[in-house]
Amino acid sequence: MRIIIVGNGKVGSTLAEQLSAEDHEITIIDQNQQNVDNLVNQLDVMGICGNGASYRVLLEAEVSQADLLIACTNQDEINLLCCLVARKLGAKHTIARVRNPEYSDQLVFMRDELGLSMSINPERAAASELFKVLKFPSAIKIETFSNNRVEMAELKLRKESKLCGVYLRDLHKLFKGRALICAVQRDTAVTIPDGNFMLQAGDKINVIAPAGDMLDFFSAFGAILPEAKNVIIIGGGRISFYLSRMLLENGAKVKIIDIDPRRCDQLARLLPRAMVICGDGTDQDLLDEEGLRDADAVVALTGVDEENIILSLYAQSRTEGKVLAKVNRPSLAAIAETTGLESIISPRALVANMIVRYVRAMHNSMGSNVETLHRLVGGQVEALEFRVSDSFPAMNIELKDLNLKPNILIASISREGKTIVPGGRDVIMKGDRVIVVTAHHSFDDLSEILR
């Protein structure tokens, strides 16, 4: 597909990297020449220097030929204008990053009247991701498939876990429910394991299970942490606001610490049920005083990556609860993971993932059949959900007889509202939703898993 990305910021460049790796033709527009040059040197994309909302620049980028335009500059208004102009010039789809809730609340109007296909609010997306993790604190990450009927969780095996030293073929002896371990990360290497794989302490595993069984799996093996009911949030930015609102609606107690009195004042008015503390979140005395020890979860959301990392390291040393940190720069996130921090959220990666998912879905309507796409373990493994169409050649053949490519796992089959965690005797039938976990990239159709 031909895709134009306007704004080569954090999200823009991540998107350009991921989408060009998927063999789309990318043109990137940015005001800053240096910025564009750097990207063009790093990726096989075309760069244009100029204002992406201007008619001339968009014409130069051949917007009329574009299948998709993604506007992700740091200004909502520019993004909207850009999409508007692009749409009038003939771009087939447009996506805008819109931060301001006042705009994003009118999405329906924008979709119908301005022809906007999707609007993305990075902060809200990050908040809902954080919220999901706080519901399952033992997991590092939770993803959902098939309208939330299937869940996939990433968790780290602690030393005391009963799973350590277990061969996967023996897993069913320990756990009677339905669950499948579909990817394991050991150090930096990722495996899609088979029955002869033995789990070890320190492995990061991805488990896929029907929604009901996931809780059982966690209570059987996880170092169980209950749903977080008492949360401290450090930093009072937009993500904190969205997250607090979600947590409060869910009945949790929320404490927000921010250094700026005016922002505290605002938050106090917006979130009357939250406790807002005006103080320096990096001050350890203050954190202890505000009950760091008793918190179920601590979320570090200040604007500085380094501060968040240090804060969470301190919090981790003081509390048994879940510690989450926002780290935007990918290089820092990698370093932070080596220090033992597990749950790291990067809004930019999230937004990029959401858009990549949308692009895949769009690609669907143009010949591919991917319903949902999740990237696991740093993008090295993909979990894809396909709907089985007539063209699938291996219908009604038992899975053990299928001739699959290496490094592929059929993780789940949903049929008529029921979810099967498949064994060798199950079959794929027409109309099923099949989740495939694979180390290959850019599968477009289920039949590609076959040799």
Is residue 353 near another protein by the rule CB under 8 A?
Answer: no
Q: How far is the CB of 437 from another protein (least distance, A)?
A: 25
Nearer Cβ to another protein, position 26 or 277?
A: 26
Q: How far is residue 161 from each of residues 202, 227, 302, 341, 388, measured CA to CA in Å? A: 10, 19, 33, 18, 37
Nearer Cβ to another protein, position 40 or 225?
A: 40
What is the sign, positive or negative, of the torsion defined by CA atoms of 184, 190, 191, 196? negative
Is residue 356 near another protein by the rule CB under 8 A?
Answer: no
Nearer Cβ to another protein, position 45 or 81?
A: 45
User: 3-state DSSP call for residue 259?
Assistant: coil
Nearer Cβ to another protein, position 20 or 161?
A: 20
Q: How far is the CB of 1 from another protein (least distance, A)?
A: 11
In this structure, are residues 211 and 150 in contact, taking their beta carbons and an 8 Å threshold? yes
What residues between 1 and 60 interact with another protein by CB under 8 A?
2, 20-21, 25-27, 33-34, 37, 40-46
Nearer Cβ to another protein, position 56 or 418?
A: 56
Nearer Cβ to another protein, position 20 or 419?
A: 20
Residues 6+ apart with CB under 8 A from 116: 80, 83, 87, 94, 95, 96, 107, 110
Q: How far is the CB of 351 from another protein (least distance, A)?
A: 22
Extract the runs of DSSP E, i.e. beta strands, from 72-158: 93-97, 118-120, 141-145, 150-156
In this structure, are residues 403 and 431 in contact, taking their beta carbons and an 8 Å threshold? no
Is residue 268 near another protein by the rule CB under 8 A?
Answer: no
Q: How far is the CB of 187 from another protein (least distance, A)?
A: 17
What residues between 192 and 221 interact with another protein by CB under 8 A?
none
Is residue 332 near another protein by the rule CB under 8 A?
Answer: no
Q: How far is the CB of 204 from another protein (least distance, A)?
A: 23
Sheet holding 370-376, edge to edge: 370-376, 381-387, 433-438, 408-415, 418-420
Q: How far is the CB of 33 from another protein (least distance, A)?
A: 5
Q: How far is residue 278 from each of residues 234, 256, 259, 263, 403, measured CA to CA in Å? A: 10, 8, 5, 9, 62
CA distance linking residue 67 with residue 72, whole number of Å:
16
Give how many residues touch another protein by CB under 8 A: 16
Structure token digits, residue 205: 């595993």
Structure token digits, residue 217: 């799996």
Nearer Cβ to another protein, position 25 or 307?
A: 25
Query: Where does this chain bind another protein (CB under 8 A)?
Result: 2, 20-21, 25-27, 33-34, 37, 40-46
